[in-house]
Amino acid sequence: MRELIFNAFVMNTTSHIQHGLWRHPNARQHDFNDVRLWIDLARTLEAGLFDAIFFADVVGLYGPLNGDYAVNAREGLQIPNNDPSVLLSAIAVNTEHLGLALTSSVLQAHPFEFARRASTLDHISDGRLAWNIVTSTQENAARNFGFDRLVEHDERYEWAEEYTEVVYKLWEGSWDDDALQRDKARGVFSDPTRIHKINHQGKRYRVEGPHLPSPTPQRTPFLFQAGSSPAGRRFAARHAEGQFIATPNPRVAAELISETRALARSFGRDPSDIKFLQGFTFVIGSTEEEARRKEAELDRYISIDGFLAHSNLGVSQDTGEPYPPETPLADIRTNGGRSHIEWLRKANPDREPTVGDLARLVARRHQRLVGTPQSIADQLAEWQKAGIDGVNVINWYLPGSYEEFNEQLLPELQRRGLAKREYRPGTLREKIFGRSRLPASHPAAQYRGAFSRRPERSAAGLDLVAGT
């Protein structure tokens, strides 16, 4: 049995996914401003040998075009929230092995600035940074960054193509491996001939470079992606090393995985260079009955209002009013994420799903595995047979859901070889793929050495290299 990868899916906010659950007596997510909550949680995750803590992030509000945020505010639905990249530096110095996955949208930061922040975090963590590449699906987020409307769905992925091109050039091509010399005797800190401008000129960005940080242990952070629309899947197939999926059953997971792997092959990548992580919540009991009782108790806290507001789909983007539940999803207009609709169509191939189906789905948004440790391990083994490489563990409450995972489920998973017993050494990429750098078949690799082809003499007599 292969070991699965385990990520803890969190957000620096009160109500991330399981809306309403912050009111549960065991919940401490409403203390999210307290850095100690996160440091303690990260240590718990490390004790449970989690591969990474994965921070979701948004830069605006979910909700209708008219900008109404009454539900969001009442529910604590991703507002208030804080910047996870700042928090990750605190977590980095309080952990040793845990991967640190940061979501950052192409909308929120200029790629030059983002590349620098990411490199800084990769240095601080000795190569444990991962980046979840997102394009933002919220109208409000677009308006926060000077746009009138969200850029159209597929064009957002073209934008992400250029964005990744810029950051890859900075991370992979701007500095040669031996550029940093730190030679006190010769008085040479870095060799200017081995540091290069990138001179990127594209549709949205013009970036001269060079990259300001020196090369980090991984250079390009470990790359995650989560889109499941056709454009999202193509993007993942080109770029992702880890793909988050939210599929309704192992059969659909197997289909999605084999399609994405085939696409990766068509882009010249090794299909096994992408790991697929399915989102699950766990409800663990010492007997099946206890697990069902616990599930019923958790369900009592769920807020349907919160789920519908989060999905961005339950209300008309034009009027801000809720759609009647019988509205077919084909009739609703959205420029946001389409993965829920895809999910529902795959789960109901014989009919067009409705807004009412959506409400029921989003309330159970990600796959729930309920039962004893043995029955949950059986189910995970089935999913693994369908091709998943790992699990994105969605919590009900912090930190309790992960403590329960460690105490109740992990021993059974380890006994069956589904979970590891110790960390491997090295960077996050090394732990997962056995190498710290992206392979030559990844699109980032084309920029290695790409800017060092035209040597020139500097006024000081040093060999200088101009960007191409």
Nearest approach, Cβ of 448 to ligand FMN (angstroms)?
28
Nearest approach, Cβ of 383 to ligand FMN (angstroms)?
15
Nearest approach, Cβ of 450 to ligand FMN (angstroms)?
29
**Residue that is written with structure tokens 């746009």 in the block:** 147
CB 16 within 8 A of CB 62: no
Residues 278-307: x where in contact with ligand FMN by CB under 6 A, - otherwise, as a string: -x----------------------------
Residues 330-349: x where in contact with ligand FMN by CB under 6 A, - otherwise, as a string: -------xxx----------
Measured between alpha carbons, how far is 431 from 269 in angstroms, rounded to an integer?
20
Which one among 57, 165, 357, 412 touches ligand FMN, defined by CB under 6 A? 57
> Which letter, b or e, does each residue of 107-135 get, where b requires 16 or more Cβ atoms within 10 Å of its Cβ?
bbbebbebbbbbbbbbbbbbbbbbbbbbb
Tell me the residue type at 41. L
Nearest approach, Cβ of 289 to ligand FMN (angstroms)?
31
- In the window 241-270, what residues touch ligand FMN (CB under 6 A)? 244, 246
Q: Rounded to 5, what percent of the chain is helix, strand, coil?
A: 40, 20, 40
Nearest approach, Cβ of 138 to ligand FMN (angstroms)?
7
Side-chain half-sphere CA neighbours of 232 within 13 A: 23
Task: Please name the residues in contact with 464: beta carbons below 8 A apart, sequence gap of 6 or more.
Answer: 192, 193, 455, 456, 457, 458
Side-chain half-sphere CA neighbours of 393 within 13 A: 29
Nearest approach, Cβ of 156 to ligand FMN (angstroms)?
8
Kindly indicate which of the ranges 51-59, 201-209, 281-289, 403-411 contains the residues binding ligand FMN, using the contact rule CB under 6 A: 51-59
Nearest approach, Cβ of 253 to ligand FMN (angstroms)?
13
Which one among 15, 18, 136, 372 touches ligand FMN, defined by CB under 6 A? 136
281 membership: H or E segment, kind and range: strand 275-284
Answer yes or no whether residue 311 interacts with ligand FMN by CB under 6 A: no
Measured between alpha carbons, how far is 372 from 411 in angstroms, rounded to an integer?
12
For 99, the 3-state DSSP assignment is strand
- In the window 187-246, what residues touch ligand FMN (CB under 6 A)? 226-229, 231-232, 244, 246
Kindly indicate which of the ranges 55-63, 67-75, 300-308, 442-450 contains the residues binding ligand FMN, using the contact rule CB under 6 A: 55-63
Measured between alpha carbons, how far is 3 from 177 in angstroms, rounded to an integer?
33
For 244, the 3-state DSSP assignment is strand
- Inter-helix orientation angle 153-168/111-124, to 10°: 60
- Nearer to ligand FMN (CB atom), residue 250 or residue 279: 279
The site that binds ligand FMN (CB under 6 A) totals a number of residues, namely: 22
- Nearer to ligand FMN (CB atom), residue 216 or residue 311: 311
CB 44 within 8 A of CB 406: yes
- Nearer to ligand FMN (CB atom), residue 21 or residue 133: 133
List residues near ligand FMN by CB under 6 A. Answer: 56-58, 103, 105, 134-137, 226-229, 231-232, 244, 246, 279, 337-339, 392
